[in-house]
Amino acid sequence: MNSLLAQSQEYELGQFLRNTYLDPQSSCYIQGINTDVVDVDQLYVRADAGGGDVILDSAYALTQGLYPPTPESTITLANGQVVTSPLGGYQYVPVESLEYWQAPSLTSWMDCQVCACKFTAGSL
């Protein structure tokens, strides 16, 4: 499990990314993306599964900063009842956990020529 400091840093990174890409006033705003309520069809989050749950936990903390709780996170049931997500509208952003061989782009050392050669040679 991540330390509280690490979780806070990931959350702050999520807030930074939110301000950079989800704020219509930002020069880097992504046109057409939902800014308050996450649309899981617009966002695909992947995390390296190596090292236990540490990286996965980091991804969850980051997504909490990216899409914080909002009372707008609701669903209308078949009977017409409107239900808000728990914890003040907590938004559940799915995170896919992958091993390094399933998604080499998630592993920074894969871009290293020395590591790539050793990996290919079977010595890593």
Q: What digits encode the pLDDT tens for the residues 29-67?
A: 999 999 999 999 999 898 877 767 888 899 999 999 999
Q: What is the pLDDT of residue 104?
A: 59
Q: What is the pLDDT of residue 48?
A: 79
123 in a structural domain: no
Q: pTM here?
A: 0.76
Q: Which domain holds residue 41?
A: 4-98
DSSP 3-state helix, strand, coil percentages of the chain (rounded to 5)?
A: 40, 10, 50
Share of the chain above pLDDT 70, in %: 78
* Coil vs helix vs strand at 40: coil
Q: Which residues contact 46 (CB under 8 A, 6 or more apart)?
A: 95, 96, 97, 98, 103, 106
Q: How far apart are CA 65 and CA 5, in angstroms?
A: 14
47 in a structural domain: yes
Nearest to 1 by CA among 51, 71, 70, 62: 51
Q: What is the pLDDT of residue 124?
A: 43
Q: What is the pLDDT of residue 46?
A: 85
51 in a structural domain: yes
* Coil vs helix vs strand at 96: strand
Instruction: Answer yes or no: is pLDDT of 82 > 80.
Output: yes
104 in a structural domain: no
Q: What is the pLDDT of residue 110?
A: 53
25 in a structural domain: yes
Instruction: Answer yes or no: is pLDDT of 108 > 70.
Output: no
13 in a structural domain: yes
- Number of domains present in the structure of the chain: 1
* Coil vs helix vs strand at 83: strand
- Average pLDDT of the chain is 84
110 in a structural domain: no
Average confidence (pLDDT) over 15-28: 95
112 in a structural domain: no
